Amino acid sequence: MQMASKQTQESECTFNNDKLKKQGHPNDQQCQSSVPCIDRQSSSEIVLDMTAAGPNPNESKALWFETSFGLIGAHGSISKELFISAVKQIGGFADNLFTIFDSNEQDLLSVQELVGGLGLLIQDKHEKNGKKLLEWFNKHFESVHGERSHISRAQFVEDLKDEEFVGHLFTVFDLDENGKIQIKEFIGSLDRLECASVDSKWYRWIEDHFNVDESNDRKITFEQFKNALHLKKSFFAKRFFSMFDTDDDGSIDMKELVNGLQILTKGTKSEKLKFLFNVYDIDGNGSLNKDEMRVVLQSCVHESNIKFNEDQLEELVDAFFEETDEDQNGQITFDEFSSCLSKFPGVAENLTIAAGNWLSPPEKKSKRRLVDRTRSKMRWATLKKNGLTVFFVVLYFLINAALFIWVAIQRKDENGWVIVARVHGMCLNFNGMFLLVLMMKYSLTWLRSTRIGKYFPIDHHITFHKAVAVIIFIQSILHFIGHIGRYIVTESGIQVWEYLFTTKSGEGWVSGTAGITGVLLLIIFGIMAIMSLPFVRRNGYFELFYFSHHLFVIWWTLLILHAPNFWKWFIGPAVIYILERISRLSIVNKARYGKTFIKEGIIFPSNVTHLIIPRSQNFN
């Protein structure tokens, strides 16, 4: 980069400190010849006299701006006034900005392409401000270029001579809308434009996942890359890093990263296999030898937590070469590698998607409001399609309503708190029994196989089980509140806490334990309900759900002790359920079907486990 200053003929220039303080620059700062000089005359005009070095065709244009647009790089930020002057005077600025927008590399920029690129940068701004900006650019192109749908490089350079146009361009780059462009904002904007074809959601995920904003130059170091992949050993991280680092500068910019990820996640099968082959080809000579495959397989073993000794590892290498090395010359070419994997499409798929899975954002389910979900389920077409399920839901609520009304009529002469407690207590008798019926997997499976099975919504029994559990929880709270109210208004000389934690009241089927068992029932059911929530299982704590759900044995035992009449509802389904549990015991299954064992287990690189289980003697 060559530079001249109006104040001196030397190779360095001195900044006017009083003027630069207003721009936020440090005092007594000197600028070497690699940084553009600023000469502030008595007028308000800013002069940047420099000729920018031409960009390396192999480097990122964002990198060119970072090094050439030194005014930003040297001082961290730039004002709108300084930006307008810099755009006019930095050689190559307009030309290289045009190249970034020209994603199709046709040296002709469509208005749609240009506005689309600006839209990518504007989309994170306030909706109203972003819309106004896009409208301004559309009107500008229409007024300046008429009905022409394409803009040449020369025309774009002319556009950048218009201060109003450059001012609006500054607003686009000013992502946080604070009146200054930070180095990260500017380089980040250029990165985004260079990767314009990438989905915005995926692009943001890459930035967050790899901590791209951690450094001013938005480059990804090897440590950042390795930590993002969550790999235990360095081999695969180093190989992937070297494959992405196409300019061999020891770091990865966003363009390099996105291009590599595009191959892994959206490339053809051949492109993915070629990438994988190059990862395995450590010395880069275009073929794989036994030493390379030994290192690769050893790294796969470490990543998959499989334990192999040296002899077993050597057998794996020999088996791989025996299957793949067609000419038996001790070297595997890409054609041989691809030909071998084509015989095992499952293996090829697992190998090629493994890295893609590491580097793909998790799918997020769209969240709809409860009102919207309810409205969609209550549409006539949905109700008609699920008529059988709707019938049983209505029948279920009618049974609860009938029990509710029956008890309310019987207790009509008692106080309101008693009625609240008793009506919900009767419904809990029914729902506590029905909850167990919905857990009888064997009986429900048998019922499905019979002629009448088609008249029951058996496939929805788990959904019914969850819904009934929610209703039990609500009715339990109301039942508890009813009894608390009754204890408060009853003049018996017994305190409320004594009703709950002692046997003084004499209520309950066994020795006045209604209060104690009632509190324990609420606590146990609450634990089971919390451990059943989706976030517990989704975060890898399935064991908490599984073991806490086995508290149902204690819960039903306490319910029998708590409610004098519950056993009458419960005994029939309980006997059937106990017989089911006995039939599910391993000793019973072994006697019925014979011994079952796992013959072989394979863990693929994608952490998919393949099990081979021979059919037992009596299993049909």
565 in a structural domain:
yes
pLDDT for residue 407 is more than 90 = yes
Q: Give the total residue count for the chain.
A: 620
Domain containing residue 281: 222-358
- Residue 371 — very low, low, confident or very high, per pLDDT cuts 50/70/90? low
Q: Identify whether 170 is part of a domain.
A: yes
Q: Can you give the pLDDT at residue 552?
A: 92
Residue 151, token pair as written in the block? 């803009």
Q: Which of the four pLDDT bands, split at 50, 70 and 90, describes residue 70?
A: low
Q: Quick one: which of 131, 136, 130 has its CA closest to 177?
A: 130
Query: What are the DSSP E strand ranges found in 191-344?
Result: 287-288, 332-333
Do 38 and 140 share a domain, yes or no? yes
Q: Do residues 73 and 181 both lie within one domain?
A: yes
Judge if 16 and 130 occupy the same domain: yes
What pLDDT shows up at residue 513? 87
In a domain, 213, yes or no: no
340, 371, 485: which is closest to 417 by C-alpha?
485
Over residues 270-293, the mean pLDDT reads 85
Domain boundary among 158, 181, 197: 197
DSSP state of 451: G
Contacts of range 570-579, beta carbons closer than 8 Å, 24 or more positions apart: 570/432, 570/433, 570/436, 573/433, 573/436, 573/437, 573/440, 574/436, 576/440, 576/443, 577/436, 577/439, 577/440
Better-predicted residue by pLDDT, 515 or 27: 515
Confidence at residue 167, expressed as pLDDT on a 0 to 100 scale: 85
Mean pLDDT of 408-425: 93
Q: Are residues 237 and 268 in the same domain?
A: yes
* pLDDT tens for each residue of 242-267: 888 887 888 888 778 877 777 777 77
Could you tell me the sign of the dihedral formed by the alpha carbons of 57, 60, 61, 66, in that order?
A: negative
Q: Which of 261, 242, 128, 139 is nearest to 195 (CA)?
A: 261
Assess contact for 139 and 111: CB atoms under 8 A.
Answer: no
Q: Could you tell me if residue 216 is inside a domain? A: no
Mean pLDDT across the stretch 495-504? Answer: 87
> Per-residue b/e over 92-115, b at no fewer than 16 CB within 10 Å?
bbbbbbbbbbbbeeeeebbbebbe
Phi, psi of 13 (to 5 degrees): -135, 150
Judge whether residue 56 has pLDDT over 70. no
In our burial notation (b when 16+ CB lie closer than 10 A, e otherwise), range 250-267 reads ebbbbbbbbebbebbbeb
Query: What is the tally of structural domains in the chain?
Result: 4
Q: Which residues share a beta bridge with 465? A: none
Q: What is the rounded CA–CA span in Å between residue 66 and residue 255?
A: 14
Predicted pLDDT of residue 7: 35
User: Quick one: pLDDT band at residue 523, thresholds 50, 70, 90?
Assistant: very high
Q: Are residues 504 and 560 in the same domain?
A: yes
| pLDDT band for position 128 (cuts 50, 70, 90) | low
pLDDT value for 28: 39
Q: Do 11 and 33 belong to one domain?
A: yes
Q: What is the pLDDT of residues 91-120, one digit of tens each?
A: 777 777 777 777 667 777 776 667 777 776
Which of 60-69, 148-157, 415-424, 531-540 holds the top average pLDDT? 415-424
* Same domain for 190 and 142: yes
- Do 434 and 564 fall into the same domain? yes
* 566 and 590, same domain (yes or no): no
Based on the domain organization, do 49 and 106 belong to the same domain? yes
Burial class (CB in 10 A: 0-12, 13-18, 19+), 580: middle
C-alpha–C-alpha distance, residues 594 and 393, integer Å: 41
Question: Are 428 and 536 within one domain?
Answer: yes
209 domain-assigned: no
Predicted confidence (pLDDT) per residue in 559-606, tens digit:
999 988 999 999 999 999 999 888 878 777 777 777 777 777 776 655
- The residue type of 16 is N
Residue 321 predicted with pLDDT over 80: yes
Asked whether residue 372 is assigned to any structural domain, the reply reads no
State residue 29's pLDDT score. Answer: 38
- Report if residue 540 sits inside a domain: yes
Q: Do 44 and 180 share a domain, yes or no?
A: yes
DSSP state of 367: P
* Domain annotation covers residue 321: yes
CA torsion 32→34→36→42, rounded to 10°?
20
Q: What is the mean pLDDT of the chain?
A: 75
Q: Could you tell me the CATH number of the domain that includes residue 337?
A: 1.10.238.10
